[in-house]
Amino acid sequence: MIWLAWRQFRVQAYLALGLLGVMAIAFAITGPGIAHLYDTAVATCGTHGDCGTVQNSFLGKDRFLQSLSVVVVVVPALLGIFWGAPLIAREMETGTFRLAWTQSVTRSRWIATKFCLVGLASMVTAGLLSLMVTWWSSPFDSLRDVPFSIFDQRDIAPIGYAAFAFALGAVLGILIRRVLPAMAATLVVFIAVRLAFTNWIRQRFATPLHITTPFQAPGPGFNGGNGLPGNPGDWVVSEETINSSGKVIGRYGGIGPNGEVNFRGNGSGVTYFQGVGKCPNRIPNPPVGSRNTSSQPPPAVQHAIQKCIDSFHLRSVATYQPTSRYWSFQWYELTIFLVMALLLSALGWWWVRRRLA
């Protein structure tokens, strides 16, 4: 039975190995050079004073290979579509299941063997791919320091995605019994699940932390973040402005639904803070035709406005997941997707045994 499962899977396995091999070669040739360059040029750019240009130049290196990192996102879906969906559906469509199920091997053993072989192969493929890309990209990743943005293209999460996509494809193939519709359905469902995780579920793996700071009006040192937590690699889930009674009245360092902080620079008069109050304001008009997006009012005026704002007792709350949680989140996500894969596999197994008759 193992022989049969392998024989049917042979060509796809070789293709995957071939592609992995090509990528491995490309990475192996360029990787050490990049790591070396990082160590000698980028890491020491501080002592050389050329961080700006060196970092830019470094980030522009091997752009094509850098973009291959997106392959890690796409591969699980492809595995689900091309390895998972046809696994059983093809046999149903062509009638060969009538040959396979009348040898001396029970249906259960047949499906268990196929599932295990191709499922494991999927996980291994995704795992190797992720390993290669993670290793090769680590200098770039250190420089950019946004681990949560590339969460689903690195480390162990893709293994879970591959297992889930495969199981999803196989089960949809069992239910739908025709290859092409099963492939389409797998794609749609897989994308939906991944989107749900990325946008809603992942940020709830652990209760996020909060940092509350007094709200700061735009001014010198204003960086739009109103005092974000210290580590740039943290994942800021949301940044809200709340008033004294705790109600959310704005986001991203602004007030109001579109983040405005309504300064009206007219030299005299009043600044309105929507839904909060008003402050006297003596900000001069910006020079005519000025395109400077960060024209700062004079410090004294700024100071006065800030004192007025303080009287409203506004606070800026950043909700975030610290970088230190990156690995526990990877494990959570991997585990959840593996569990989903197992549940789907169980469903498929039961369906083939009991219902498909």
Q: Identify residues 212-231 at the interface with other proteins (CB under 8 A).
A: 218, 222-224
By CB under 8 A, is residue 105 in contact with other proteins?
Answer: yes
- Is residue 94 within the footprint of other proteins (CB under 8 A)? yes
**Residue 270 makes contact with other proteins by CB under 8 A:** no
Q: Find the binder of other proteins among 128, 156, 184, 338 (CB under 8 A).
A: 184
278 makes contact with other proteins (CB under 8 A): no
User: Is residue 178 near other proteins by the rule CB under 8 A?
Assistant: no
Considering only residues 61 through 80, tell me which ones interact with other proteins, judged by CB under 8 A. 64, 78
Collect contacts of 245-253 with beta carbons under 8 A, ≥24 apart.
Answer: 249/275, 249/276, 249/314, 252/224, 253/216, 253/222, 253/224, 253/225, 253/226, 253/316
Question: Shortest approach of other proteins to residue 183 CB, angstroms?
Answer: 7
Q: Does 189 bind other proteins (CB under 8 A)?
A: no
Contact window for other proteins (CB under 8 A) among 22-30, 181-189, 307-315, 338-346: 181-189
Residue 243 or 334 having the CB closest to other proteins: 243
Structure tokens at 236: 């800021």
Q: Is residue 285 classed as helix, strand or coil in its secondary structure?
A: coil
- Rounded distance between C-alpha atoms, residue 71 and residue 34, angstroms: 20
**9 touching other proteins, by CB under 8 A:** no
Residue 281 or 330: which CB sits closer to other proteins? 281
From 289, 293, 300, 311, residue interacting with other proteins (rule: CB under 8 A): 293
Helix residue ranges, H only, 145-230: 157-176, 179-196
Q: Is 82 in the site for other proteins (CB under 8 A)?
A: yes
DSSP classification of residue 268: S
Q: Does 60 bind other proteins (CB under 8 A)?
A: yes
CA angle 122, 197, 194 (to 5 degrees): 45
Binder among 25, 28, 29, 99 for other proteins (CB under 8 A): 99
The residue type of 347 is L
Please provide the distance, in angstroms rounded to a whole number, between the alpha carbons at the two ends of the chain: 22
Q: Which residues contact 1 (CB under 8 A, 6 or more apart)?
A: 105, 109, 110, 113
Taking CB under 8 A as the criterion, the residue among 26, 45, 124, 156 binding other proteins is 45
Least distance CB 283 / other proteins (angstroms): 7
Distance, in Å, from the CA atom of 349 to the CA atom of 117, rounded to the nearest integer, reads 14
* CA trace torsion 59, 63, 68, 73 (10° rounding): 50
- Classify residue 75 by burial, with Cβ atoms within 10 Å: 0-12, 13-18, 19+: buried
Residue 284 within binding range of other proteins, rule CB under 8 A: no
315 binds other proteins (CB under 8 A): no
Pair of tokens at residue 182: 């099963």
Exactly one of 207, 245, 268, 292 binds other proteins (CB under 8 A); that residue is 292
Identity of the residue, 175 or 237, whose beta carbon is nearer to other proteins in the bound complex: 237
